[in-house]
Amino acid sequence: MESRRNFTSDNVTAMAPEVLAAIMAANTDVAASYGSDTYTGRLQEILFRVFEREIAVFPVATGTAANALALSQLTPPFGAIYCYEAAHVMTDECGAPELYTGGAKLIGLPGVSGRIKAKQVADAIAYAREMGVHHVRPGCVSITQATEWGAIYRPSEIKAIADVVHANGMHLHMDGARFANALVTLDCSPAEATWKLGVDALSLGATKNGAMSAEAVVFFDPALARDFEYRRKRAGHLWSKLRFMSCQLIACFEADLWMRNAQHANAMTLRLAEGLQQIEGVRLIHPAEANELFVQMPESMVRDLESAGFGFYRWALCDVPAPSVAIRLVTAFDTNEADVDAFVAHAARGKVNG
Ligand SMILES: Cc1ncc(COP(=O)(O)O)c(C=O)c1O
C-alpha cells in the first residue's frame, strides 16, 4: 500500500483495484441500457444471496440520492422523518430528503454517539399524534449504521426502534453508507443486521469502501418498492450505462471484498485509537467501533500534525474545552499501517514538544 498521510475521509481514496478491474472487464462490446444488462441482473441475484431473501435493489450513484430516494418512498410530503439531530440526512444532504419527499419534515432527536433510542422515537410519535393534523404525520425513522460518530447500534437497539416504528404503521430506514464497517464489528450476517431486526429499507454503501461511485437502495419487501423506478428515473439516477455501476457493486459484494476492505479500515481505526489513547492530553470522544475516530487533542499537537502534512479535519461540532480541539480521523481499505504509526508517533512527539 502506498503511503498517504491523509485521514480526512473515506472518500479521498482511489478505487479498490478489484473495482477498477471489474469496470475494465465490463468495458467491452455492447450491453443493454438502463438496467436491462446482465450485470444488473446478476447484482440482484448476488444481493439476494447476501441478504438471504428476495429483495428489490436499485443502484444509484451517491449516498445522498440513496437516502433521499429511499426516504421519499417511505414518507408522504406531509410526513415526519425522525432521525439523529446531526444525521447525514439532516445536516449534510443540502435538503435532498426534503426535496425528494416533496416537503416531508426531518425531526432531529438527540443521541449518544449518533444513536437514538426507541423511547425517544415513541415519545416523538405520541406528541405528533396528540397534535393531530397540525403536526406532520409520523412517516418513518432513519438510523445510520455505523453512525456519523463511528459508533455502532447494537441489534437490540435497532429491534426496539423497529418495534415502535411498526406498531405505529411506519417504516424503518437505515443509512448504511458504512454498513460494511458496522457488520465487521457486529460480527453477524447482513440479514441479522437488517431485515431480521425490522429494517425496511437500506442505503447500502460501497463508495466509501472501495467503489468509484456506487450505492444501492435495498427494500427488503419488494412490495414496498412499488414505482420506485420512477422516482429514481425522475431524480436522474437511472444511468443509461448502468452496467458500469452494477459491475462495481458486483465486485464488492460477490465475494468478500466488502468485508475484507471494511475489516482493514476498522483495524486501522482501532490501531489509531489504541496508539493515541496512550498519549497524555489525548482523549477519544466517541468509541472506536468502525472506521472513524473523533479525538480531543491539545491545539499545539494538532498544529504540529498539520504542519507535518497529515490530513484530517478539525471537527467543530464536538464540544471540547480549550485549549484542546476536536479532530476527525477516517481510515479506509487503503490506509497504511505505517502511516497510522507515523501519525501516532508524531502526536506523541507533539506532546513532548508542546
Ligand atoms: C453517514 C453518511 N451517509 C451518507 C453519505 C453519502 O454521501 P454522498 O452523497 O456524498 O455519497 C455519507 C458520506 O459522507 C455519510 O457519511
Instruction: Decide: 181 in ligand 1 pocket, CB within 6 A.
Output: no
Q: What does pTM read for this prediction? A: 0.97
Instruction: Decide: 175 in ligand 1 pocket, CB within 6 A.
Output: yes
pLDDT band at 196 (very low <50, low <70, confident <90, very high): very high
Q: Which residues contact 274 (CB under 8 A, 6 or more apart)?
A: none
- Answer yes or no: is pLDDT of 352 > 50: no
Which burial class, exposed, middle or buried, applies to 146 when counting CB atoms under 10 A from its CB (0-12, 13-18, 19+)? buried
Nearest CA owner, ligand 1 atom 8: 63
Instruction: Decide: 83 in ligand 1 pocket, CB within 6 A.
Output: no
How many other CB atoms are found less than 10 A from the CB of residue 11?
Answer: 11
* CA dist 116 → 36, 80, 153, 155, 292 (Å): 39, 16, 9, 13, 19
Which burial class, exposed, middle or buried, applies to 215 when counting CB atoms under 10 A from its CB (0-12, 13-18, 19+)? buried
pLDDT digits (tens, 9 = 90+) for 7-50: 999 999 999 999 999 999 999 989 999 999 999 999 999 999 99
What pLDDT score was predicted for residue 258?
Answer: 98
Query: What is the distance in A from the centroid of ligand 1 to the CA of 143?
Result: 13
Coil vs helix vs strand at 75: coil
Distance of alpha carbon 239 from alpha carbon 232, whole angstroms: 10
Q: Give, as one character, the DSSP assignment of residue 223.
A: G
Instruction: Decide: 207 in ligand 1 pocket, CB within 6 A.
Output: yes
- Answer yes or no: is pLDDT of 353 > 60: no
What pLDDT score was predicted for residue 1?
Answer: 65
Query: What is the distance in A from the centroid of ligand 1 to the CA of 124?
Result: 26
Q: Give, as one character, the DSSP assignment of residue 25.
A: H
What pLDDT score was predicted for residue 354?
Answer: 43
Query: What is the distance in A from the centroid of ligand 1 to the CA of 88?
Result: 7
Give me the chain's average pLDDT, please: 96
Instruction: Decide: 10 in ligand 1 pocket, CB within 6 A.
Output: no
pLDDT digits (tens, 9 = 90+) for 88-108: 999 999 999 999 999 999 999
Instruction: Decide: 144 in ligand 1 pocket, CB within 6 A.
Output: yes
pLDDT digits (tens, 9 = 90+) for 160-175: 999 999 999 999 999 9
Work out the angle between the directed axes of helices 179-186 and 257-277 (0-180°, nearest 10). Answer: 70
220 vs 5, which has greater pLDDT? 220
Instruction: Decide: 88 in ligand 1 pocket, CB within 6 A.
Output: yes
The C-alpha R_g of the chain, in whole angstroms, comes to: 21
pLDDT digits (tens, 9 = 90+) for 115-128: 999 999 999 999 99
Q: Which residues contact 28 (CB under 8 A, 6 or more apart)?
A: none
CB 204, CB 232: distance < 8 Å: no
pLDDT digits (tens, 9 = 90+) for 254-297: 999 999 999 999 999 999 999 999 999 999 999 999 999 999 99
pLDDT (mean) for 69-96 = 98
What pLDDT score was predicted for residue 3?
Answer: 73
